[in-house]
Amino acid sequence: MVAPFALTLQQSNAERIYCLNAMAEEQGVQRGMGLADARALCPDLQTMPANQEADNQFLHLLARWAGRFCPWVGLEGPDGLVLDVTGSTHLFGGEQALLETLDERLGRAGLSAQLALADTRGAAWALAHYGAWQPGSVSPAENKGGGVAQGGRDLSSQLAPRGKSLEVLGALPVAALRLDEKICTGLLRLGVRTIEALYALPRATLTRRFGLEPLMRLDQALGHREEAISPLSEAPHYGVRMSLPDPIGLADDVMAVTGKLLDRLCDKLDREGCGARILQLTMRRLDQAASQVELRLARPMREACRILPLFERGVGEVDAGFGIDMVRLEAVAVEPMVDEQMTSIVLGGATGSKERGGPLAAGMSESRSLDDLITRLGSRIGLENVFRFIPADSHIPERSFSLQPAAWSAPVGLWPGAGGTEGSEVSRGSENVGMGPPRPVRLFPPEAIVLPLSCELDMDRREPPEHFRWRRMQLSVARARGPERIAPEWWWEDPLWRSGIRDYWWVETRQGWRLWLFHTPQNRLAHLSSWFVQGEFA
């Protein structure tokens, strides 16, 4: 803390202070203050925009860590944790020692936290938020942001001894009861400043005036009414293991064990509505060495009978050594997966005939076997090497399609212009004929052609030359169609297209080759070769 620092958040059209450090607080900056006001108070205030999502993630991380102190950890607002330590304090040497341990560990991690421990959740909340409050200080909110003094802090004031909540809480302001701003103001107007004073009021009149809330909160804080802590649910763990009494070494045995593990894992996945994307099979050998087989699936899957054969290749390559005595299977990456209608697939798959399951089932089992194939190929050469063509909207030939990994993309319904596949009469008529200029079946990086000298000298010539040499072949042009001018896309920096516009020609040679030539007239001025071949037609 070398300089005043604060995090800001855009709230109702104004930058407001969201969180700040002790030094900024000393200079009079407060939470919720406008950034402009804060700058006026404290000219050297450093600020950064707050990232609430990351804060929330960090809080969950902290909640997981807090599980070491007790099993019952819940969230308290956007910036607090609540732990039910009943029955687990003795493990850390008592309540006071537990608080000290927590404080020390959080401090080591660079976190300043307000800690309190009490009989009830309400009392602990009050102590944590208002425990250090002095009646003379400017505002109770001042202490909220975590201005913890460095070093030797007395935590005993933050600890409410058993059954003495009222004595500890009595002097705190009524706001410590988690009451509404409105009720607090009302109580303050009546001169009820502290919890003690509130407790002394007759209950009936209080309810008549302020409703049920103040008494409910008071009862919760003092333990007359119970309040539960809802712990965060634990993320499901997708790992199963099997220890074997006798080591195994045959691939068939390992596959059998894997099958059993898969059944258990898939049950679990099924319950959670998830499918595995990456599976890791760890085999521990007798000599404690372990070998791993990783299986990356082309689609999230949870059918054991489909996944098992995909493991065959990986398991076959494992060196079993003196034998394997523990097998562990974990789904490292899972994805939510929608339920599919199973009946027709089972029917289509079991009978093995497409007619029985109907066209839908046939199509589905088709795509399933394709997914399995992609997985198999992926386990050999990497899933990122299996591509699907996706059309893209661009005139630049190299960018008029894109290659997407097949495992993470869905096929387009119908390729623009690729009619004919059972297309109706209407689509057939409109597509192929008026499809636009033809494109070569094979594209390669532009290759310069060698022109005869006569063409070289003719500066104004825009048509393709009659004869040229390409790939050490002497070709003569029989027919040429063009030009089709394609301009580079200025919004897309492409070094290949830096030379500017290109005039494309479809050229048929007497030798049979049908080539896609282009001419860059501007290159000629620089005395560079201006004719290139970029593709071959069918």
Partner 1 sequence: MNDPFASAFPLRAGRAHEVTGQGATAFAAIVCGLGTKADQRPSLWLVEDWRADLINPVGLACFCDPSRLLLVRVPDQKSMLACAEEALRSGAVSCVVTELPRALSFTAGRRLQLAAEEGKSTGILMIGEGMGNNAAESRWHCAPLFSPHLHQIKTVSSLSHSSDSTLQRWQLIKNKSGTLGCWDIIWDAETRRVIVVSEVGERPYSAAQGRGRALCSHVAAE
Name the residues that contact partner 1, by CB under 8 A: 362-363, 366, 369-370, 372-374, 376-377, 380-381, 385-389, 391, 397, 400-401, 403, 406, 411-418, 420-422, 428, 432-433, 435, 438-445, 478, 506, 508-514, 535-538
In whole angstroms, how close is the CB of 415 to partner 1 at the nearest point?
A: 5
Report, in Å, the least distance between residue 105 CB and partner 1.
Answer: 49
Q: Which is nearer to partner 1, 10 or 369 (CB)?
A: 369
Closer residue to partner 1, CB minimum distance, 278 or 377: 377
| Cβ distance to partner 1 smaller for residue 25 or 372 | 372
**Minimum separation from the CB atom of position 523 to partner 1 (A):** 21
* Span between the terminal Cα atoms of the chain, in Å: 71
Q: Whose Cβ is closer to partner 1: residue 45's or residue 406's?
A: 406
462 with 503: CB under 8 angstroms? yes
Contact present, 517 and 505 (Cβ < 8 Å): yes
In the complex, least distance from residue 473 CB atom to partner 1, rounded to whole angstroms: 11
Bridge partners of 34? 16
Nearest to 275 by CA among 329, 330, 337, 333: 337
Q: How far is the CB of 414 from partner 1 (least distance, A)?
A: 7
**What are the distances in angstroms from CA 534 to CA 393, 443, 496, 538?**
20, 6, 12, 14
We find the least distance from the C-beta atom of residue 428 to partner 1, in angstroms, to be 7
Q: Which of 453, 451, 445 is nearest to 530 (CA)?
A: 451
Tokens of 494: 């492409």
Output 212 or 381, the one with its CB closest to partner 1: 381
Helix axes 121-130 and 213-222, enclosed angle (nearest 10): 90
- Least distance (Å) from partner 1 to the CB of residue 408? 13
Question: What amino acid is encoded at 458 in this protein?
Answer: D
**Burial readout 456-483 (b: 16 or more C-beta within 10 A, e: otherwise):** beeeebeebbeebebeeeebebeebebb
Q: Which CB atom, from 153 or from 428, has the smaller least distance to partner 1?
A: 428
Interacting residues of 117 by C-beta distance below 8 A, sequence separation 6+: 85, 95, 98, 99, 124, 127, 158, 159, 160
Residue 133 CA to residue 126 CA, distance in Å, equals: 10
Nearest to 337 by CA among 393, 273, 397: 273
Smaller CB distance to partner 1: residue 414 or 501?
414
- CB of 353 vs partner 1, minimal distance in Å: 14
Region class of 482: left (phi > 0), else alpha (psi between -120 and 50), else beta: left
Minimum CB distance to partner 1, residue 469 (Å): 17
Judged by CB, which is closer to partner 1: 256, or 441? 441
3-state secondary structure 138-166: CCHHHHCCCCCCCCCCCHHHHECCCCCHH
- CB of 532: closest distance to partner 1 in angstroms? 14
- Select 204 or 426, whichever has its Cβ closest to partner 1: 426
231: its two tokens: 């712990």
Question: Would you say 110 or 512 has its CB closer to partner 1?
Answer: 512
Alpha carbon dihedral 63, 64, 66, 67, in 10-degree steps, equals: 130
